[in-house]
Amino acid sequence: MLQSPSGGAGHGAAAADSGLMSIGTVLNVLRGEFPEVTISKIRFLESEGLIEPRRTPSGYRKFSTGDVERLSHVLRMQRDHYLPLKVIREHLEAMGRGEAVPLPVVGRQRDGEVVPETSEGPTAVRIGRDELLAAAAISEQELEEWESYGLIAPLPDGAYDAEAATVASLVAELGRFGIEPRHLRVMKAAADREAGLVDQVVAPLRRHRNPQTRAHAEARTKELAGLAVKLHAALVQTALGVRLP
């Protein structure tokens, strides 16, 4: 076997891997734009086939610059367009084939039409019924059934919170395992109770006269919601005796 000038037979392989990053390094890189991202989130997106980092012989993940760019793209589509993973996966596959696939339009409802969001201050992101059906790849009949069980509910003007697309996608995925919408009412009830608990904590901030304090209530709500979701996931995993990869 030929030796490298430094005398190390594995020097070439090490040099080839020098541009790769550990999952911890990737987390630090992403947190500038995505402060709420976690290692568990990255692992979940990998398990869903949205990213495919290399693995060392001992099983450690190693991410290339391209992996990080792809991961950033996925996180932006979730954050800015509220797209379910199925739609994101199809979009990435189309991009890989060199196709141009427009993302579903997400914006505010005005006179029955979707108006794209602008950066002029915070507004509630909403989608129309047709956009919801397309984003979640579900039928009108399925949506009506899920609404009858309270899993998804339209806003007073008939539009939907963009998060409804994520809920619809997850309900559909659970359906593949034989879990019917009527079985999910207990989850909806638990989520409502958790939301009520968070609301009790932030309600005094929302009623405060100081505008900055009221703005802080929104950030505190997001923080508490994130912690509640993590705790819920951990409790379910503990009860089932399983761990996510």
pLDDT tens for 36-81 read 788 888 888 888 888 999 999 888 899 999 999 999 988 888 777 7
Same domain membership, residue 190 and residue 169: no
Structural domains in the chain (count)? 3
Ranking 4-18, 122-136, 226-240 by mean pLDDT, the lowest is 4-18
- The pTM of the full predicted model, rounded to 2 decimals, is 0.47
Question: 219 lies in a domain?
Answer: yes
**Residue numbers of the domain that contains 159:** 102-179
pLDDT of residue 2 exceeding 70: no
Report the alpha-carbon distance of residue 60 to residue 72 in Å, rounded.
20
Same domain membership, residue 50 and residue 31: yes
Tokens 């979009």 belong to 91
Within 10 angstroms of residue 101's Cβ, the number of other Cβ atoms is 12
For residues 123 and 114, the answer to whether their CB atoms sit within 8 Å is: no
pLDDT tens for 182-223 read 889 888 888 888 888 888 887 877 777 777 776 677 778 888
Question: 91 lies in a domain?
Answer: no
The CA-atom distances, in angstroms, between 243 and each of 31, 142, 187, 227, 232 are 24, 31, 20, 18, 13
Ranking 104-113, 124-133, 163-172 by mean pLDDT, the lowest is 104-113
For residues 162 and 82, the answer to whether their CB atoms sit within 8 Å is: yes
Report the alpha-carbon distance of residue 230 to residue 236 in Å, rounded.
10
Same domain membership, residue 245 and residue 186: yes
User: Which DSSP symbol is given to 21?
Assistant: B
What is the CATH number for 60? 1.10.1660.10
* 160: three-class secondary structure by DSSP: strand
